[in-house]
Amino acid sequence: MTTALARIVITGSECTGKTTLARELAARHGALWVPEQSREIATRLGRPLTSEDVSAIASAQIAAEDAIIADAERRGDRMVYLDTDLLSTVVYARHYYGVCPSWIEAETRVRIADLYLLADIDVPWTPDGVRDRPEARQQIHDEFHAALSEFGAPSCEVHGLGEDRTASAIACLQRNHLASE
């Protein structure tokens, strides 16, 4: 791996263990991680998100990422983990509202991460008041595949439950020369 800070994004459909995996990988590698901003905003608002919230979500995601990246660079870290990024904002805006603001799509193109770990939908659905589309998991998963391809984002899919999922993610990192374990 080069000395540049690698950005690893855990992405995918709702309820696929992204937050758990981001937190766990960051802990294993002594790295910082960024929580999913759309979840933070939805929880704070206490209502379903609307198309009017998309730009605020994207702006919050950018600010959170930039802050953690600056901290990681000051610490001399090798990588940061992002529990989703703007690519997720694009996918969900298109899925829910049929369109994503063009400025977000443009910013996504210049902020493509070093690697995307696409979480498979092979984990059980757990309702939590924010997640709302268990019946659309496969469709959204397919939309993530399409967006990763459209944006030219390097990716691999992670599978399994618990330690198997973590092992799948670590194997992906190793194949991409981003982890030595």
Is the pLDDT reported for residue 67 higher than 90?
yes
What CATH number does the domain located at 6-175 have?
A: 3.40.50.300
> Using one digit for the tens of pLDDT, what is the confidence trace for 51-62?
999 999 999 999
> Using one digit for the tens of pLDDT, what is the confidence trace for 127-150?
666 556 767 889 999 999 999 999
Q: Where are the domains of the chain?
A: 6-175
Contact 7, 80 (CB under 8 A): yes
CA dihedral 145, 149, 150, 154 (to 10 degrees): 110
Q: What pLDDT, on the 0 to 100 scale, is given for residue 30?
A: 95
Phi-psi region of 113 (alpha: psi -120 to 50; beta: other; left: phi over 0): beta
Is the pLDDT reported for residue 166 higher than 80?
yes
Contact 181, 174 (CB under 8 A): yes
